Structure 1
Amino acid sequence: MDPLFTDDERERIRLAVAEAETRTAGEIVPYVVRQSGDYDVATWRAASAGALLAGTLALAVAWLNDGWGWGWLYSAWALALVMAGGGVLGAFLTLLDPVRRALAGAERLDTAVHRRSAVAFLEEEVFDTRDRTGILLFVSLFEHRIEVVGDAGINAKVEQHEWEEVVDLIRTGIRGQSLADGLVAAIEKCGDLLHRRGVAVRPDDTDELPDDVRVRDE
């Protein structure tokens, strides 16, 4: 599987985090996954719809045909074969990401991403900072979802809607075929926002969490 970032891009992201954290006590953790769930339900939905559609079409053809050429469709085995073929074709269509997303449904995608971001928050110990000032920038590529998850010290000073520009910067980078550019811009914006909101650096502040981007291929 192709890497999401080159070594140069990883270094640019790391430096962006390090620079942003010179202006704020916030600990920024960029985290990217290829997808947050399996969505097997999409395959079953597509297979069922394909089988039903194929069976309906087969019966319609047999009913409308006046000759002998399509008489075989009246047999049970033929109808079963046609429906099985339709089901297989429907299942294969879910190999296309847009089809799989559509059949999984927006609510299921939202739930999967929210749960995966919570796992990432715990996995990377974003909560384990002195003043609870960790912040997770979570990007789930398959679902086209981005979440900003702040710890208690962040949420006390920054309203959730204020992260919209950060999310938009990441989204713009992805649309421009450069996730790294989007993350760097978003990290810089995070630093500005946290500094402006008074998440100030203490004299004895230390770098409590690694600055590198985390990438998971699951």
Structure 2
Amino acid sequence: MKFEAQFDEAARRRIAEAVGRAEALSRGQIVPVVVEKSDPYPEVRYRGALLAAAIATAAVLALHLPVTLAELPLVQLAAGLLGAWLSMWNPVERRLAGARALDQAVRARAVRAFHENGLHRTTEGTGVLVFASLFEHEAVILGDRGIHEKMGDAGWDRAVAALVAGMRDDDPGRGFVEAIAQCGARLAEHFPRDPSARPPPNELEDAIRASRT
């Protein structure tokens, strides 16, 4: 799933505007990040090859196919190559990787993105990462120390659900806009902006960040 196909200029502009609106309500700093895939999952190719070779072997033995012992390795090799090729199809790759591996990869990539984008260096510890991984159809929202102390991980559940729903509906741009609005509302509860004070500096750029992995 390519970033360019999902986030045209208009979608990127809507997301940046959503960040601006959300940050206007509080002293928080929100950074949206999207990656096409959180991990290359190289082990999936081997699993696909081994599984296909095992199925081919079982079929030869169960159906008593006219394959000699000398020919069996060739059948297994051909099946293995087919299995490795099929494992590159997204639904098959996700299934062979397994839900736990997908979750771990997305979480690890989100933590990396949090630090890559300087969210751990905001003045009041109120940086919030809104992260989506398109291949896995998963989202993570991470708050820096200040906001995490008040909300924990569960405080972002509605925002995560909105972002995941957007990806599943093939409209991740809408998901980001809705999730960012949810984050802004929660930040406003805990870190409201003082209307009589000078607006805090915008420490981090509002635009969405994107990468292949």
- Whether TM-score is above 0.5 comes out as yes
For the Cα contact (< 8 Å) 1:135–1:150, is it kept in 2? Answer: yes
1:106 to 96, 99, 105: 99
- Mapped partners of 2:55, 2:167: distance in 1: 36
Whichever residue aligns with residue 61 of structure 1, its letter is L
Aligned length: 208
User: 1:22-101 to 2 correspondence within 5 Å?
Assistant: 22-62=24-64, 70=66, 73-74=67-68, 76-101=69-94
Measure how far apart 1:167 and its partner are: 0.8
Please name the residue that 1:214 is paired with: 209
- Mapped partners of 1:145, 1:51: distance in 2: 31
- Percent identity between the aligned chains? 36
- Mapped partners of 2:62, 2:170: distance in 1: 46
- Mapped partners of 2:186, 2:158: distance in 1: 10
1:153 aligns with 2:146: yes
Measure how far apart 1:2 and its partner are: 6.0
TM-score by length of 2: 0.92
Whichever residue aligns with residue 114 of structure 2, its letter is F
- Mapped partners of 1:155, 1:163: distance in 2: 10
1:177 to 170, 177, 181: 170
Q: 1:104 to 1:26 in 2, by over 3 A?
A: same
Measure how far apart 1:172 and its partner are: 2.0
Measure how far apart 1:148 and its partner are: 0.6
- Mapped partners of 1:39, 1:2: distance in 2: 19
Q: 1:191 to 1:2 in 2, by over 3 A?
A: closer
Please state whether the residue corresponding to 1:28 is helix, strand or coil: strand
Q: Which runs of 5+ in 1 are unaligned?
A: none
Q: CA RMSD in A?
A: 1.5
Q: 1:112 to 1:95 in 2, by over 3 A?
A: same
Measure how far apart 1:61 and its partner are: 3.2
TM-score by length of 1: 0.90
Please state whether the residue corresponding to 1:212 is helix, strand or coil: coil
- Mapped partners of 1:12, 1:27: distance in 2: 17
1:199 aligns with 2:191: yes
Q: Which runs of 5+ in 2 are unaligned?
A: none
Please name the residue that 1:127 is paired with: 120
For the Cα contact (< 8 Å) 1:157–1:199, is it kept in 2? Answer: no
- Mapped partners of 1:121, 1:131: distance in 2: 16
Measure how far apart 1:26 and its partner are: 0.9
Measure how far apart 1:93 and its partner are: 1.3
- Mapped partners of 1:45, 1:90: distance in 2: 8
Measure how far apart 1:39 and its partner are: 0.8
Q: 1:81 to 1:144 in 2, by over 3 A?
A: same
Please state whether the residue corresponding to 1:21 is helix, strand or coil: helix
